[in-house]
């Protein structure tokens, strides 16, 4: 089947590559921005495990063609997937205009993270233009770092669809990824959009709850990691998203929670819980700075600090809304010299920093910590899990470890002659 995919989100890239791999002839239309330029120069536009290799493979087999979005010339395919960046409604309107002006599309699948009710608005927009093309919602629930696996072997698929023929067609398209058991949950489009936001809200709530519990654990002299294991063993709770840390970020997670909060407010419904979740998360982004400040009793000016990790999560080159940004700003405000290492995110961090303040970026993690008064672990990249403790101690001016992801054993680190602070650890 011929399929068009429109957008430059990770969801668009994964959708295009995965569908091409199953034999569809996919044309992927990208807006002319960062990802288009990177792919044109044969760069790694998306730092997602396995994705770029699959994209290149499908281009070679002629199952995948990449084009600049431009004015979306030519006749559209029978099925069009639209996975645009948040707020890109003008591009969405351009897609609708293309489908109306050049008939041929039988189904528009909206994967864009827009406000609840957008899919229905898109369908009404088509009808107002004289085209009764079904529009369904397939919310983007992919996680960076395992997006390709999440699409190819999904645990659940939310499908917002109230058209039987459209449901039959999309089930056929997704059949290669829905074989072990039927994981497609069909509901109305606005219900699928809302469910996606509600999932993000629940996960964020669990994280912020655990960060509150970590503060209490420190006061009670108990280890939050032991508490986490005890809670996770209860089947009513489960193990997922119970890790205390220095806050969550990312282009999707934070945005979804804020989107859900705005939706509640727009309907004049009190959003106290989610507002507290966001406030706790913003507070948590400075928790390492507060521990650093207390350790040196406020004498932090002109000290040197290293950050291991700037990406909002391992496996990503994105820093959007990540705790590293808030932490760096707090250090700058106290005239602290900031050194950073990250396997992928240094270019993005440099773009964010711009003229905001001085950053020293390092390609080698041990170069970053040389002569530093503290090391703050912000992103739990695997290469940070088992450092050379003796080499680390020798390189640092003061062997102080501030573990924002609780990836180390406190007693072991202390046995190596380093001082250690985690999140809710003893």
pLDDT tens, 301-318? Answer: 999 999 999 999 998 889
Q: Which tokens sit at 160?
A: 């917002």
The number of beta carbons lying within 10 Å of the beta carbon of residue 372 is 23
Same domain, 246 and 219: yes
Alpha-carbon distance of 119 to 160, in angstroms, equals 9
More confident residue, 160 or 254: 160
Residue 150, domain extent: 2-187
Residue 202 in tokens? 């629940």
**Domain edge (last residue) among 163, 187, 211:** 187
Residue holding tokens 């419904």?
269
What are the beta bridge partners of residue 400?
419
Count of structural domains, the chain: 2
Residues facing residue 149 across a β-bridge: none
HSE (side-chain half, CA atoms, 13 Å) at 412: 10
- For residues 202 and 77, membership in a common domain is answered with no
Residues 73 and 125 in one domain: yes
Do 224 and 260 have their domain in common? yes
Do 69 and 146 sit in the same domain of this protein?
yes
Give pLDDT tens digits for 80-120. Answer: 999 998 888 899 999 999 998 888 899 999 999 888 999 99
Identify whether residues 265 and 183 lie together within a single domain.
no
* Segment among 114-118, 261-265, 370-374 with least mean pLDDT: 261-265
Q: What is the pLDDT of residue 224?
A: 97
Identify the domain boundary among 153, 187, 221.
Answer: 187
Query: Is residue 293's pLDDT more than 80?
Result: yes
Q: CB within 8 A of 297, min separation 6: which ones?
A: none
Same domain assignment for residues 14 and 82: yes
Asked if residue 204 and residue 137 are part of one domain, the reply reads no
DSSP SS3 for 68: strand
Percent of the chain with pLDDT over 70: 100
- Give the confidence band of 291 by pLDDT, cuts at 50, 70, 90: very high
130 and 235 housed in the same domain: no
Nearest to 159, CA basis, from 186, 132, 127, 191: 186
Residues 292, 396, single domain; the answer is yes
Mean pLDDT check: name the lowest of 18-27, 45-54, 146-155.
45-54
pLDDT band at 131 (very low <50, low <70, confident <90, very high): confident
Residue 368's SS3 state is helix
In whole angstroms, give the CA distance from residue 241 to residue 239.
7
Among 271-280, 359-368, 398-407, whose mean pLDDT is lowest? 271-280
219 plus 351 within the same structural domain: yes
Nearest CA to 83 among 24, 23, 31, 148?
31
Report the CATH number at residue 60.
3.40.50.720
pLDDT at 119: 95
Q: Whole-model pTM?
A: 0.90
Question: CA separation (Å) from 220 to 216, 217, 227, 330, 408?
Answer: 6, 5, 12, 28, 21
DSSP for 171-229 reads: HHHHGGGS-SS--EEEE-HHHHHHHHHHHHHHHHHHHHHHHHHHHHHHHHT--HHHHHH
Q: What was the pLDDT predicted at 25?
A: 97
Which among 154, 187, 220 is the end of a domain? 187
111 touches 136 (CB < 8 A): no
CA distance 173 to 404: 42
- Contact indicator for 80, 3 with CB cutoff of 8 Å: yes
Distance CA 100, CA 104 (A): 9
Query: Would you state the pLDDT for residue 353?
Result: 96
CA gap 133, 127 in Å, rounded: 8
Instruction: Verify that 146 and 205 share a domain, yes or no.
Output: no
Cross-strand pairs, 137: 110, 160
pLDDT band with cut points at 50, 70 and 90 for residue 130? confident
Q: What is the pLDDT of residues 212-243, one digit of tens each?
A: 999 999 999 999 999 999 999 999 999 999 99
pLDDT of amino acid 45: 79
Q: State the pLDDT at residue 70.
A: 79
């Amino acid at each position: 089947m011929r399929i068009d995919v429109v957008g430059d989100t990770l969801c668009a890239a994964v959708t295009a590559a995965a569908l091409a791999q199953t034999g569809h002839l996919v044309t992927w239309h990208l807006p002319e921005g960062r990802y288009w330029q990177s792919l044109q120069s044969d760069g790694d536009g998306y730092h997602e495990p396995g994705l770029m290799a699959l994209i290149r493979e499908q281009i070679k087999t002629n199952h995948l063609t990449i084009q600049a979005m431009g004015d979306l010339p030519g006749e559209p395919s029978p099925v069009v997937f639209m996975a645009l960046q948040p707020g890109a409604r003008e591009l969405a309107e351009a897609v609708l205009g293309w489908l109306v002006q050049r008939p041929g599309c039988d189904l528009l699948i909206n994967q864009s993270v827009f406000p609840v009710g957008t899919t229905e608005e898109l369908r009404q927009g088509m009808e107002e233009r004289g085209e009764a093309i079904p529009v369904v919602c397939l919310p983007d629930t992919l996680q960076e770092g395992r997006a390709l696996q999440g699409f190819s072997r999904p645990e659940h698929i939310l499908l917002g669809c109230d058209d039987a023929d459209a449901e039959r067609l999309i089930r056929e398209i997704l059949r290669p990824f829905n074989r072990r058991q039927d994981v497609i949950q069909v509901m109305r489009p606005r219900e699928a959009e809302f469910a996606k936001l509600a999932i993000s809200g629940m996960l964020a709530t669990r994280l912020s709850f655990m960060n509150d519990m970590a503060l209490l654990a420190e006061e009670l002299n108990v280890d939050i990691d032991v508490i986490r294991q005890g809670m996770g063993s209860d089947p009513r709770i489960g193990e997922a998203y119970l890790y205390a840390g220095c806050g969550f970020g990312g282009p999707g997670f934070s945005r979804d929670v804020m989107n859900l909060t705005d939706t509640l407010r727009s309907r004049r419904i009190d959003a106290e819980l989610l507002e507290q979740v966001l406030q706790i998360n913003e507070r948590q982004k400075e928790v390492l700075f507060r521990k650093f400040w207390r350790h040196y009793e406020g004498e932090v000016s002109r000290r040197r600090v290293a950050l291991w990790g700037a990406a909002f999560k391992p496996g990503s080159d994105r820093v959007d809304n990540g705790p590293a940004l808030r932490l760096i700003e707090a250090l700058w405000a106290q005239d602290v010299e900031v050194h950073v290492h990250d396997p992928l995110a240094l270019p993005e961090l440099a773009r964010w920093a711009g003229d905001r303040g001085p950053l020293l970026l390092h390609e080698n993690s041990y170069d970053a910590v040389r002569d530093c008064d503290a090391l703050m672990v912000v992103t739990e990249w695997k290469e940070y899990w088992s450092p050379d403790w003796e080499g680390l101690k020798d390189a640092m001016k003061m062997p102080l470890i501030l573990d924002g992801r609780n990836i180390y054993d406190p007693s072991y680190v202390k046995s190596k002659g380093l001082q250690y602070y985690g999140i809710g650890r003893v």
